[in-house]
Chains A and B, each alone.
Chain A
Amino acid sequence: MRVSGAGSGTFSAMSTAIPVHVGLFTETDPPDLLGGRCTSCGNHNFPRHEICPYCASDATEAATLSAVGRLWAWTAVTHPPPGYRGDIPYGFGVVELPEGLRVVTRLTEPDPSRLRPGQPMHLEVVPLHVDDAGQSVITYAFAPDEPVTP
């Protein structure tokens, strides 16, 4: 698989790359975002919920969510938050998916002035940090389809 660096081109992931959490995204090229759908109210959810968080129904199923969306809100984190193991600054925001979901996500763009409301975004898998065992830990992030000049 291919792992995209945060604005620094791409590189081949070592076979030891592990996801920061299981079940959030696929390690395919391109990657998919993994969520769920409630067959009772029809709403999607992310991460996958066994019980619908919006209508309390048990009638949920796994669903592959769109890997493309539009930017709804964004900022940058400039100071490492508690327990964080990656680099700063990093982009952080909300992307709207066609399924009617707003997903909280890391953004590959850490400069807020280079992003615009509604701009097209796509899912990438990015390196997060190297853990104590020397393994590369990867996570999902949304990246702008086209860069914006500030």
Chain B
Amino acid sequence: MTSVEIAGIGLHSFGRFDGVTVTDIGVTAVRQALAEAEVGRGGFQAAFCGTAYGGVATGHKVLGALGMTGMPIVDVEAGCASGAAALMLGRAAIDAGQYDTVVVFGVEKMPRGIIRSSFFDPWQEEAGFAATPAYFALRAQRFMMSSGVTKDHLAAVVVKNRRHGMHNPDAMYRSEVTAEAVLSSRVVSEPLHLWMLCSPNEGAAAVVLRRADTSGAAAEGRVELAAAVLRSHLPGAVLSESTPMAGLIDDTLPTPSTLAATDAYEQAGLGPRDLDVVECQDTDAARELMSYEELGLCAAGGAAEMLEAGATSIGGRLPVNPSGGLLSKGEPLGASALGQVVEVVRQLRGQAGPRQVHGARVGLTHTVGRGANAGVVLLRRT
């Protein structure tokens, strides 16, 4: 497979920015990534934009505002994994020999409150089935029954990620919280309390992908996009992120996250043991712990122990969500996957400041959400 490098990264902070348009937010991130890659107008042959709520031709509006159109611009919706889908397409196009340089970005300006999604039929909304956090809660409950994870562990995930997020100037929440405060926040859907859920918000992230020049020493210290995989769900799992109305009594089906991780490890010739840093989908605190198992970071039933041992805190064996995760940053759907990629690139370059994972060479990012869509990305410093 062709070697593809991350030639530049850009980020618009995640938060709430009244009076700033989704186009403005996207422009900030794309411009930074292009500048870092020293790519100007005409310097890239295609663009892929991930967004779920941006509306028609979001990518065109961002690149139009920069005066850089004419090339194919593909807008991609894949729920929480929209940015991962855009990244997969961009990488695949370079692999196929179609382009040498592409821009991939994700941008979002989310409505406030529980995310309204056209995914549900009107009658499902009317009857109360569009209660997205309740599906998270059911998934958390079943996970807790099978894994030994308790509410205290869920609170500990929030404490960990918010502690990491204190050192991320691009995060929405940058204050430490205690487990007591997390467990005192109101119950949204048992077992999930308000502070265990991430907040939908606004932001953008961008990367420039370039066919790598592997000819000499110049490649040293670059970050390579070792795999960018998107998978959907297999039918049957009732609590899949595909949120069906029913499923089969079958607990053997691999989740979309596991499918994506398995493919990514195989494509890159890497495994969970090679990882130094992970950014994973912590839409809710239980979701992060489920991801440890789904991504093979621990054996089935090992998530609580991994968390308790501090393995996934900065300074531990395999820090997870050093950026503070979505629990600190908030979740702009189209931007979140590429925001993770930007974080891991910074980590691999040694540019993460006080939240730096020392000596990180290989990182994984993971997003999963409605569709179901699951994206897993592997990045490696050469």
| A78 lies within 8 A of chain B by Cβ | yes
Report whether A54 and B238 are in contact in the complex, using a CB–CB cutoff of 8 Å: no
Binds A, one of B127-135, B275-283, B345-353: B127-135
| B96 lies within 8 A of chain A by Cβ | no
> Within the assembled complex, what's the spacing in Å between the Cα atoms of A117 and B238?
16
What residue in chain B is nearest A87 (Cβ atoms)? B128
Residues of B within 8 A of A96 (CB): 249
| A142 lies within 8 A of chain B by Cβ | no
- Tell me which of A53, A78, A94, A101 contacts B138 (CB under 8 A): A94
Report whether B122 and A81 are in contact in the complex, using a CB–CB cutoff of 8 Å: no
Give A126-149 interface residues, CB cut-off 8 Å to B: 128-129, 137, 139
- Tell me which of A35, A90, A100 contacts B128 (CB under 8 A): A90
Report whether A73 and B142 are in contact in the complex, using a CB–CB cutoff of 8 Å: yes
| B56 lies within 8 A of chain A by Cβ | no
Report whether A46 and B246 are in contact in the complex, using a CB–CB cutoff of 8 Å: yes
Residues of B within 8 A of A103 (CB): 238, 245-246
Q: Closest Cβ of chain A: how far from B241's Cβ, in Å?
A: 13
> Within the assembled complex, what's the spacing in Å between the Cα atoms of A47 and B127?
14
Report whether A92 and B248 are in contact in the complex, using a CB–CB cutoff of 8 Å: no
Q: A81-B125, A83-B130, A128-B127 are in contact. Are A102 and B238 (CB under 8 A)?
A: yes
Q: Closest Cβ of chain A: how far from B184's Cβ, in Å?
A: 16
Residues of B within 8 A of A112 (CB): 190
Report whether A83 and B247 are in contact in the complex, using a CB–CB cutoff of 8 Å: no
Chain A, interface size category, equals: 35 or more
Report whether B126 and A137 are in contact in the complex, using a CB–CB cutoff of 8 Å: yes
Q: Closest Cβ of chain B: how far from A49's Cβ, in Å?
A: 10
Q: Mark B106-150, 1 if CB is under 8 A from A, else 0.
A: 000000001111001111011111111010011001100100000
> Within the assembled complex, what's the spacing in Å between the Cα atoms of A94 and B142?
11
Q: A75-B190, A102-B246 are in contact. Are A82 and B130 (CB under 8 A)?
A: yes
Report whether A35 and B246 are in contact in the complex, using a CB–CB cutoff of 8 Å: yes
Report whether A104 and B248 are in contact in the complex, using a CB–CB cutoff of 8 Å: no
Q: A82-B130, A92-B138 are in contact. Are A117 and B145 (CB under 8 A)?
A: yes
Q: Mark B36-50, 1 if CB is under 8 A from A, else 0.
A: 000000000000000
A interface, over-half SS: strand
Q: Closest Cβ of chain B: how far from A71's Cβ, in Å?
A: 11
What residue in chain A is nearest B191 (Cβ atoms)? A75
Report whether A79 and B125 are in contact in the complex, using a CB–CB cutoff of 8 Å: no
Residues of B within 8 A of A79 (CB): 114, 188
Q: Closest Cβ of chain B: how far from A80's Cβ, in Å?
A: 8
| B244 lies within 8 A of chain A by Cβ | yes
Residue of A54, A96, A117, A129 with most chain B CB atoms under a 10 A cut-off? A54
Q: Closest Cβ of chain A: how far from B118's Cβ, in Å?
A: 10
Q: Closest Cβ of chain B: how far from A62's Cβ, in Å?
A: 15
- Tell me which of B117, B129, B141, B235 contacts A104 (CB under 8 A): B129
Report whether A92 and B189 are in contact in the complex, using a CB–CB cutoff of 8 Å: yes
Report whether B238 and A94 are in contact in the complex, using a CB–CB cutoff of 8 Å: yes
> Within the assembled complex, what's the spacing in Å between the Cα atoms of A81 and B125?
7
Residue of B128, B132, B248 with most chain A CB atoms under a 10 A cut-off? B128
Report whether B248 and A102 are in contact in the complex, using a CB–CB cutoff of 8 Å: yes
Q: A53-B235, A76-B190, A79-B114 are in contact. Are A106 and B248 (CB under 8 A)?
A: no
- Ordered by A's residue number, 23 sampled pairs between the chains whose C-beta atoms are within 8 Å are A20-B123, A43-B248, A45-B246, A73-B141, A75-B137, A75-B190, A82-B115, A82-B130, A84-B131, A86-B126, A86-B128, A92-B128, A92-B134, A92-B138, A94-B138, A100-B248, A102-B238, A103-B245, A104-B129, A106-B127, A106-B128, A128-B126, A128-B127
Binding site for B on A (CB under 8 A): 20-21, 35, 43, 45-47, 53-54, 72-79, 81-86, 90, 92-94, 96, 100-104, 106, 112, 117, 128-129, 137, 139
Q: A78-B189, A102-B238 are in contact. List 11 more A-B contacts (CB 8 A).
A: A20-B126, A54-B236, A74-B141, A76-B189, A77-B189, A81-B134, A82-B130, A83-B116, A84-B126, A102-B249, A106-B128
